[in-house]
Amino acid sequence: MLFIFPKNYNFKPKLLGLIEYTTAIFDVITALIIYFLINLFISDISIKITIFISIYLPIMLISIIGINKESFISITKYMVKFLINQNIYLYYK
């Protein structure tokens, strides 16, 4: 079966049709960092699970849902650029 996509259609491959691959990689790296930091400081398993879920769940939900149909990585790029150059308000071509 052959599907024809129009040229103005933005086709992005997604993992399970839900999340982009770059965002999924970012989520895995974030989860690993949080896991190792929690594992380093806390020894009780129930507290580890509670803290991991409370820290990681909002990050994962924002990355899956997105903000105004933008990916999580592009939003973080915009935020970092704004924090570096706060004096630039408008961009003229």
CB-based contacts of 34: which residues, under 8 Å, 6+ apart? 52, 55, 56
Residue 62: band (very low, low, confident or very high) from pLDDT cuts 50, 70, 90: confident
Candidates 26, 51, 23, 25; CA nearest to 37 is: 51
Residue 88: band (very low, low, confident or very high) from pLDDT cuts 50, 70, 90: low
For 9-24, what is each residue's pLDDT tens digit?
A: 766 777 777 777 888 8
Q: What is the pTM assigned to this prediction?
A: 0.66
Candidates 26, 63, 31; CA nearest to 48 is: 31
Q: Which token pair is 40?
A: 């380093």
Amino acid, res. 4: I
For 24-59, what is each residue's pLDDT tens digit?
A: 888 899 999 999 999 998 889 999 999 999 999 988
Query: What pLDDT is stored for residue 60 in this prediction?
Result: 86
Other residues' Cβ atoms within 10 Å of the Cβ of residue 30: 16
> Coil, strand, or helix at residue 80?
helix
